[in-house]
Amino acid sequence: MRGGEPPAVDRDRITWHSPRLGIDAELVRRAPAYEETLIDGVRWRCEQPAADARIGAMRGDGYAEVLELEIAPWEVPIDELRWGRVVDASQSMTWIEWRGPHPFKRLLIDGIRSEAALPEPAENRTIRDQRLGDTIPIPGLPKRIADAHEQKWCGRVGSAWAVHEVVRFG
């Protein structure tokens, strides 16, 4: 993806054009954005908890977020990250859970903070199950990141499909 312009955010619309990949994409927000500082130096913006998405001729439900780090990723005080999202025509849910020295939980339903229990997707199908260092083969990648193990699944939350993952830092 290098060598192209980053996605452009204009109010409720995100557009991205990548000549290198031959992609034109557009997401139009249909739930309010949410923003929160998770800890000093880590800011999360759920730009589009639910969106109408188009990539070329394909259309569907979309999602977009930004994680701004003012600290190195390997210095974030967590042992385990759990994250997931569900987006369909009727509802969106996004959740984050940090386990370890700085525990944290957040659930958004249609872009609005909720105190409900975090969902537990069922009928899981593995998408990925390996070390981050095997995916990001960068020389000198810090051991904490390279040895982190990521498991990602697609599973059901009610009648909708969810993508969810667990990353365990050694």
The pLDDT tens digits of the residues spanning 70-83 come to 999 999 999 999 99
pTM: 0.89
Strand partners, 42: 39, 69
pLDDT level of residue 2 (50, 70, 90 thresholds):
low
Residue type, 85: R
Res. 132: pLDDT tops 70: yes
Res. 151: pLDDT tops 80: yes
Res. 3: pLDDT tops 70: no
List pLDDT tens digits, range 86-115. Answer: 998 889 999 999 999 999 999 999 999 999
- By percentage, how much of the chain surpasses pLDDT 70? 98
Q: How far apart are CA 8 and CA 55, in angstroms?
A: 15
Res. 45: pLDDT tops 70: yes
Q: How far apart are CA 167 and CA 22, in angstroms?
A: 31
Query: Pick from 64, 84, 86: which is nearest to 166 by CA?
Result: 84
Q: What pLDDT sits at residue 90?
A: 86
Q: What pLDDT sits at residue 137?
A: 81
Q: What is the number of alpha carbons within 13 Å of residue 36 lying toward its C-beta?
A: 14
